[in-house]
Chain A
Amino acid sequence: MHELALCRALLAQAERIAAAHGAHAVRRVELRVGPLSGAVPELLREAFAVARAGTCAQEAELVVHEGAIEVECEACGARGPAAAPNRLHCPACGGWRTRLVAGDELLIERVELALAPRACEEGAEHV
């Protein structure tokens, strides 16, 4: 359950971005979370609802885009989806020597800011 720590890091980044753009609030945060990132989207949503209190993202919506796992075979060069997070074999030849092309990402894709004359305060207590 490290999703709360992840949300705190996320909110710290969101506050910096808001401050840099002179925004007074963050309305929406969009993440991309792969099945091999180690983060669980449902737990992220729950943790976000707790962690956002008292920040300039306290009314923000969290959107989690769940990515798929894609591998590339080192033997035959085929590229395609993996069967499961614990079965990363080549979808064509079945070999285990594959390289992960997608599926471990844990990215802030974009944030939507509300613009107002007053800038979002930086360095809030929770950071």
Chain B
Amino acid sequence: MCEHCGCTVTGGNAHLLEAGAPEGRRTVEVLEGLLAANDRAAAHNRAHLARHGVAAVNLMSAPGSGKTALLEATVEALAGEFRIAVIEGDLATENDAERIRARGVPAVQIATGTACHLDAHLVHRALHRLDLGAVDLLLIENVGNLVCPAAFDLGQHRSVALVSVPEGDDKPAKYPVLFRAADLVLVSKCDLLGVLDGFDPAAVERHVRALASAAPVWRVSARTGEGLGRWCDWLRALVAGVRAGAAASVT
């Protein structure tokens, strides 16, 4: 695919594609993704991460489902093991980045203004504000939104979707595009299951399977620590895998 103009047409083959158009008009077959520019930037991010052997995770969920609390607990649990960095996406404020920095971990806040999602270009700029040579695990907290973030590849290795107990167990059925993109689904705030008895964790899993997704569905609570061990093991395996891949590409 031509990277310059976004088409595959050359002087040699153009005549094959131009048929039936009225005089003075030319129809050009493009067949390129609408997000081609974002996808190229995501590939570029991936190359940055690979060069430094950094494992990257994109966390997506509705606002207020506990992404930042999960990150705080994750930093607490793994900061002695890995060098962690965080990219925070929000429309405004540095609040989330400050919460992470308070735990002694570098955090870059992307304030998107009015944009409802992170894209690969925004993340690329944030990557350049981090010392990737001093990072093993990069956690990217996307803008709280269950619609738009799903469409934009950031260059991450894995995507995680959170659905918190107060939101209801049918979120994967209501937002199939985002949950279909998740490699792991976390039922967050699971300490509230005893209070909000209308939430059935098995229903979350059923809705995720209906999206033809084999992603594990695990309960976590940043407050009680339930499920954090398994989540941290998942991150450990990812970091080890990315390191092994980076080592393999060097040799």
- Which residues of A are at the interface with B, using a C-beta cutoff of 8 A? 1-2, 5-6, 9-10, 12-13, 16-17, 19-21, 23, 27, 31, 36-39, 71, 85-89, 96-100, 104, 106-116
Residue of A nearest to B26 (CB): A113
B7, B31, B34, B174: residue with the most chain A Cβ atoms closer than 10 Å? B34
- Which applies to chain B's interface (DSSP): helix, strand, loop or mixed? mixed
Interface residues on B, range: 35 or more
B93 in the interface (beta carbon within 8 A): no
Task: Decide yes or no whether B117 CB sits under 8 A from chain A.
Answer: yes
Complex partner residue of B31 from A39, A89, A108, A115, CB under 8 angstroms: A108
A88 and B210: CB pair below 8 A? yes
- The segment from B47-55, B75-83, B144-152, B239-247 found at the interface with A is B144-152
Residue B4 CB within 8 A of the other chain: yes
Asked if residues B34 and A110 are in contact (CB atoms below 8 Å), the reply is: no
Q: How far is the CB of A99 from chain B (nearest CB, A)?
A: 7
Q: CB < 8 Å: which of B24, B37, B210 contacts A96?
A: B210
- CA of A100 to CA of B181 in the docked complex: distance in angstroms? 12
Q: Which residue of B lies closest to A1 (CB)?
A: B116
Minimum C-beta distance from B191 to chain A (A): 28
- Which residues does chain A contribute within 8 Å of B30, judged by CB atoms? 13, 17, 107-111
With both chains docked as a complex, state the minimum distance between the C-beta of A47 and any C-beta of chain B, in angstroms.
Answer: 12
Judge whether B211 is part of the interface by a CB distance below 8 angstroms. yes
* Other A-B pairs, 10, CB within 8 Å; known A9-B34, A13-B34, A16-B6: A2-B116, A13-B36, A13-B37, A20-B4, A21-B28, A36-B176, A36-B177, A36-B180, A86-B173, A110-B29
